[in-house]
Each structure stands twice: as C-alpha cells, then as structure tokens.
A and B are shown apart, each in its own frame.
Chain A
Amino acid sequence: MTDFKRANLSMTWKLLAIALGAFGFGFALVPLYNVLCSVTGYGDQTKLLQRVKAIEHPDPSRTVTIEFLADVASSGGWDFRPVVRTIEVHPGQIYSAEFIAHNLTGHASTAQAVPNIAPSMVAAYFHKTECFCFSPQHFALNEERKMPVRFIVDPALPKHVDRITLAYTFYDESSRVSSAR
C-alpha cells in the first residue's frame, strides 16, 4: 500500500470515528437533557420522582396556592382525580394531599402516575417525602382507593411564584404506546 492510500484510509477511519461519536452523542443527549434542564432553570422533572428527607422551617408569612391536576392517558379505563383541587400552603411546612383512583378497566391492573409541575422551574423547590408515584400501584378489579402525597415547598422558592400546579398522568400497562387511529 502506498503512503498516499494509507493517508486516505487513516483519514477515513478518523472521520468514521467522528460519525460514530456523533451517533453516541445523540444518545448522550438523553442524560444531558435532564442536566441541562436543571442548569437552565427549566427544572428537572425527574426530581419529582425522588423521595426527599425534609426538615420543617415553616414560613407563615408567605402563602402559595397549590393546584392538583389528574389526567388519565388516552387508553382510559380509570377514574382518577384529586380529593381537593387546591390548597394554600406555607413554604417550609409539610402538607399532605390525596388522590382517588378507581379501576374501571374491567380487570386487575397496575398503573404508574407520572408527575409534572408548572411552572416547571418549581421542580427544584418542590420536595416530596412520600408519593404514590414513587412506585407502580396495583389495583384489583373495580378497586377504588385513596393515595397520599406528602410534600414540602422549599422556603427558597422564588418570590414571584404564587401558584404551583402539581399534575399527575395515570398510565397503566396498556398505555405505553398510544394506539393508532
């Protein structure tokens, strides 16, 4: 092989390696995305799935409204709603709220609630000590039950936030891929 051909080949391999690296980079964007979300202030929503040990420092001078939303993924078959729609809270104090789920799918089923919060940057200031979304929930046929969430709003919550929406979407096994229509 001539020097010339060797130079061509080595460059080709290098460029292929770059392309392969770029392919890997596409996948690396997945974990990077959550990091970027918290860095840019978007709020890493996966934090809402983590249990946090919180110490209470209530700040009674400040009141924030918490709204609860409940959604069922498009496959349906569930009745899912918050017991109360809104509560007023003081940052730094632990509160609990309940959601009711009723299995109307016609068979026993396991469902996972996926949390989301708005404004999204609040994710960094909303700590849960307990949540039914931490693990999948099993329901017997026609079972209806209340599920608790306990949370504390960080006193460091930016001053301008006066209202937080905590939303859950309820997915059961059938709703991983939304059905084609």
Chain B
Amino acid sequence: MIRAKMAQFAKLAAALVLSFAGSLPAHAESGWGLLNMTQGVTEISRKIYDLHMEIFWICVIIAVIVFGAMIWSIVTYRKSKGAVADVTLVHNTKVELIWTTIPVVILVFMAVPAARTLVEIEDTTKTDLSIKVTGFQWGWQYDYLDSGVAYFSRLDRKSDAARELMSGIDPTTVDHYLLSVDKPLVVPVGMKVRLLITGADVIHSWWVPAFGVKKDAIPGFVNEAWFKVDTDKPGLYRGQCAELCGRDHGFMPIVVDVRSKADFEAWLKDKAAEQKQAAAPPAAAPDVATAAAAG
C-alpha cells in the first residue's frame, strides 16, 4: 500500500524532474534527460526499479531532515549573529537512543521488499529455453542448447571503424555507436529464458539494463540468470560488458532482439538449417579461441 503510493509519488517527482531537464538546451540525441534508471521490460526489472525508487526517496527524506537540521544550525547559531555556545549540551541519552532506533526500523522497511525480490530473481526453475552465453575477449558467443544453434556476436563494423584512435569518423553519425552488434541474441517474448553464463578467458559480465540482468561470466564456472520479456514489448534491447576485461572492454556490447514466439521459432529453424549446411563435415561449432583469433 505504502509502496504503491511511494511509487506513484516517485513517478510524479521523476516526471517533474524530467520535464525540467527536458527544457534545458538540447541537441540531437540529447543525454540531458538521462537521469534515472529505466523501468525495463520485465517484471523483475520493474521490481528493481521500484526498489531503487523506494530507497531513493527514503534517502531524500532523510537527507531533507538531516541537511535541514545542519543548514538551520549553520544559519541560526553564527557567532556573527551573537550566538553564544551552550557548552552543557554534550550528551542526551534519550535523543541518542531515538536516532539509533529509528534507522533500524527504516532499514527493516527497506530490507523486506529487497529480500523478496531477490528470492524471485534467484528462482531459475521452470524455464522454457536455455542459452549458453560465453564472454570472450572481446565479444559474446550464444549457444542455443536445445537446437544446437551457435554464433558469435561482436561490435558492428561501423562502430568498430569509428572507435579507432582519431578515426575521423564522428560517432554521432554512427547508428547506436558502441551499442550495436553484427548478430544480436534473438529471444522470444513471454518465455522464461535461462542463460548459462561463462567466460572463455577472463571475467566478463553480461548486462542488459532493460531486463534487470547482470551476471558475471567466469572462466571455468557457469552462472545462471533468467529473464522473461513482457509479451507486448518485442524490440531491440542493448547492454554492455560490465566487468573490466582488458583492452577492448568498452567495445563488446550486447544486443538482444526480442521477437514474437512465431517469429522466433521461424528464425531458429532457419538458423539451424543454415548452420547445418555451412558446417557439413565437422559438425561442431568452432570454438571460441580459433574464431576470436580469426576475427
């Protein structure tokens, strides 16, 4: 109840802040309005957003009270205004008890919804589709475990050319500079997609903000994560590697192409046939390293 109200209040305030920001001078693809986390397109990402806003507003309220007290003291008790120090004010058990207990209550108020959301996030059962995600220096490999479809996904050519040192190419002319790839990960809407995330060389981290998923890709270990995109939200969603992984850490984006179930099935079938044809003699997909070296 209170949380719902809080969320409403949060939305209102965020809208106010955003409309203010919107009135600032802005050029094409302006970033002035990018001030906050977005709600994302999964139930989990929205829950995370709500948690974020809840804690944010609790902090704002505490800040208003504490900073208010500081400012008031600074303004009121200036020597220049004739303030005389009350040197007996050194200790007050009652007050000290109060300001130790109230935070405890607030913390419980924050921890309970956080724990609840966390339990949901950690529930990796009853998934519909498993995809293995391997981070490597510097790109991602996607491997659809049930159908055998596997491919690499790297920074697209235009971005790659523009990001060279003093390339002379204006990044603003590149479509989704540093956030587009040659072959995106394709997934269906409305299905619980399970990711098995691992690393080939060093640690990477697979992050798509709109899904509320960030999980480290650790060589020799397999991490699980999952997401389920709202059925009415197909589209392209972008993210980046979030763990420093060497020279081109900033240049290994993630793009997820979320399609309707029918479109996805069709794509998967095509892709499987295409791969069978291409890799006729040695059936296996090339391993990460040889492909990375070739690329």
Using CB atoms and an 8 Å cutoff, list the residues of chain A in contact with chain B: 45, 67, 69, 71-81, 85-86, 114, 116-119, 160-163, 165, 167, 169, 178, 181
Contact A167/B148 with A73-B200, A74-B136 known, Cβ cut-off 8 Å: no
Chain B positions within 8 Å of A73 at CB level: 200, 219, 289
Contact A72/B287 with A116-B222, A117-B222, A119-B224 known, Cβ cut-off 8 Å: yes
Contact A162 B146 (CB under 8 A): no
Cα distance, A144 to B290, chains bound together (Å):
19
Q: How far is the CB of A4 from chain B (nearest CB, A)?
A: 35
B220 in the interface (beta carbon within 8 A): yes
Closest residue of chain B to A114 (Cβ to Cβ) is: B220
Chain B positions within 8 Å of A80 at CB level: 287
Contact B200 A71 (CB under 8 A): yes
Contact A69 B136 (CB under 8 A): no
18 contacts between A and B (CB under 8 A): A45-B221, A67-B145, A69-B132, A69-B145, A69-B222, A71-B198, A72-B288, A74-B136, A74-B201, A76-B287, A76-B290, A76-B293, A79-B287, A116-B221, A160-B123, A163-B194, A169-B220, A178-B202
Mostly, the B contact residues are loop
Chain B positions within 8 Å of A76 at CB level: 287-290, 293
Cα distance, A80 to B286, chains bound together (Å):
10
Chain A positions within 8 Å of B246 at CB level: 181
B-side interface size class: 35 or more
Q: Return the contact of B126 from the options A75, A78, A162 (Cβ within 8 A).
A: A162
Chain A positions within 8 Å of B132 at CB level: 69
B282 in the interface (beta carbon within 8 A): yes
Contact A167 B247 (CB under 8 A): no
Contact A162/B200 with A72-B288, A74-B289 known, Cβ cut-off 8 Å: no
Contact A85/B223 with A71-B200, A74-B288, A181-B137 known, Cβ cut-off 8 Å: no
Closest residue of chain B to A162 (Cβ to Cβ) is: B125
Contact A74/B145 with A114-B220, A160-B125, A181-B137 known, Cβ cut-off 8 Å: no
Contact A74 B284 (CB under 8 A): no
